[in-house]
Amino acid sequence: MIQFTQPAWLWGLAALAVPVAIHLLSRKEGRVVPVGSLRHLRETTSQQFRGIKLNELLLLALRLLLLILLVLLLAGLFWKNTERQAWVVVDRDLLQNTRAIALADSLVAKGYEWRWLESGFPKKNNSGALSSKNNWQAIEQLRTQHLQHAVVLSTGLLTEFKGELQPLGAHIDWQVFELEPRKLSIYGVEKENTKLVRTVFTSATRTYFESEAVSMLPDSLPTPRPIQISLVADKGYETEARIITAALKSIATLPIKINVTTELHPAADWLIWLSDKPTPETAAKIIYTTPASGMLLQPRSATQWQLPKAFTLDAALQNDLTIRLAALLTKDITRQAAIPDNRSLPAAFLNKTEVAMSSVVGAGNNAAILIFFLLVLSVERVVAFVRKQ
């Protein structure tokens, strides 16, 4: 079935009258050659519209075809599948959710085809390995499937919405089934004769952490080793060294263990180099000073960050030095802990977005029309040149 995404452009077909009128009114004038005594006769005005007829029928047909193709391009011509294909697209993380699976089964009974919410939307019997999900990308791909209807059953996790926001098509219904709240102990640490367990609480609305003192750390709980930091400061960097030391003391109040030395330790994880001398060869990650001005802790490579040669306490406060330094030092710990995050994007947020119907159509039809348009335009130009029109 032929349909249009922008049917208002079909009014452009009225422009077909323009080339018809031009070809009706145009008359091909021949060369006038005065012969004998006729040259002395005075030319009289003749009736302009006697015997009106269409001229250059081939050119007229080509130009009419060009206008029709242009209107079809602007109107967004596409072929609608009359088989009324419909999908129910299910997130594999909802396999234990009885409400979601019951809804999916009921839709399958009504003729919907079960697909997985993954790249390419594999069928239900495809039990391939789990792949990372990007829901914005999935929405964009769904719009190109020319489906009659699609119902998406998703966890709506915020971590699965990556990149640019994509509008939800009018034929797509997005249902969010929130995951159950979780409480998970991620790691333990022993510092100053105190044993602490770091616990994460996560639900559909928020994720937060708590530290709980215990008498004994569970054997199954990972215990990150202390972070070894070498803070080396030459003469003239006393102010910067005091600021860095104060930041490290503040970070040490977190449930992590930090060991700080004022000399380069061979097993250091981090080297904070406050000196005009070149940085030494080391396997540690390095924070060093540079004469250039700029932001604090500006990354220079995967293992190096730089500080301005002279920075004040006000600059440290304005640039959140302590917070950014803590994020750097604890990045490996949080990565190894595999912290869950059940925060979800409400379905109402997705349903409020609007979509231009042109985005539902794949590029296949329009590409073919565009190529045909260019071919006809080339032929029309050649014929017009030959006919001198």
The residues with which 174 forms a beta bridge, in sequence order, are 152
Average pLDDT, integer, range 286-297: 84
Q: What is the pLDDT of residue 185?
A: 87
CA distance 91 to 175: 11
| Confidence tier at 80 by pLDDT (50, 70, 90) | low
**Whether the Cβ atoms of residue 303 and residue 282 lie closer than 8 Å to each other:** no
CA distance linking residue 338 with residue 47, whole number of Å: 91
Name 161's Cβ contacts closer than 8 Å, sequence gap at least 6. 134, 135, 136, 345
Rounded average pLDDT over 335-344: 79
Report how far residue 229's alpha carbon sits from residue 329's, in angstroms, rounded to the nearest whole number: 9
Above 50 in pLDDT, residue 355? no
**Where does the pLDDT of residue 305 fall: very low under 50, low under 70, confident under 90, or very high at 90 and above?**
very high
CATH class of residue range 225-337: alpha beta
Compute CA distances 45 → 38, 48, 53, whole Å: 16, 9, 20
Closest by CA position to 156, among listed 178, 138, 132, 184: 178
Edge-to-edge strand ranges of the sheet holding 149-154: 113-116, 86-90, 149-154, 172-176
Q: Residue 155's pLDDT is what?
A: 93
Taking alpha carbons only, the member of 236, 240, 229 closest to residue 315 is: 240
What is the pLDDT, as a whole number, of residue 206? 92
Helix (H), strand (E), coil (C) string for the chain? CEEECCHHHHHHHHHHHHHHHHHHHCCCCCCCCCCHHHHHCCCCCCCCCCCCCCCCHHHHHHHHHHHHHHHHHHHCEEECCCCCCEEEEECHHHCCCHHHHHHHHHHHHCCCEEEECCCCCCECCCCCCCCCCCHHHHHHHHHCCCCCEEEEEECCEHHHCCCCCCCCCCCEEEEECCCCCEEEEEEEEEECCEEEEEEEEECCCCEEEEEEEECCCCCCCCCCCCEEEEEEECCCCHHHHHHHHHHHHHHCCCCCCEEEECCCCCCCCEEEEECCCCCCCCCCEEEEEECCCCCCCEECCCCEEEEECCCCHHHHHHCCHHHHHHHHHCHHHHHHHCCCCCCECCHHHHHCCCCCHHHHCCHHHHHHHHHHHHHHHHHHHHHHHHHCC
- Poorest-confidence range of 51-60, 143-152, 365-374? 51-60
Q: With a cut of 80, say whether residue 28 has pLDDT above it.
A: no
Mean local confidence (pLDDT), 55-66? 83
Is this model's pTM higher than 0.85 or not?
no
| Mean pLDDT on 182-206 | 87
Closest CA to 126 of 113, 111, 140: 113
Cα separation of 290 and 199, whole Å?
39
CA distance between the termini of the chain = 39
* Tens of pLDDT, residues 3-26: 677 788 888 888 888 888 887 776
Phi-psi region of 166 (alpha: psi -120 to 50; beta: other; left: phi over 0): beta
pLDDT tens digits, one per residue of 136-154:
899 888 888 888 889 999 9
What phi and psi, each to the nearest 5 degrees, are found at residue 326?
A: -65, -40
Instruction: Please report which confidence band the pLDDT of residue 162 belongs to, taking 50, 70 and 90 as the band edges.
Output: confident
What is residue 175's predicted lDDT score, i.e. its pLDDT? 92
234: Cβ–Cβ under 8 A, 6 or more apart, which residues? 274, 275, 276, 277
Q: Which residues face 113 on adjacent strands?
A: 87
pLDDT higher at 291 or 137: 137
Query: What is the C-alpha to C-alpha distance for residues 60 and 21, in angstroms, rounded to an integer?
Result: 10
Q: Which two tokens stand for residue 112?
A: 């919907």
Average pLDDT over residues 112-125: 90
Q: Determine the pLDDT at residue 103.
A: 94
Give residue limits of the domains in the chain: 1-26+53-76+361-389, 86-179+344-360, 225-337
Task: Kindly tell me if the per-residue pLDDT of 232 is higher than 90.
Answer: yes
The pLDDT value given to residue 323: 92
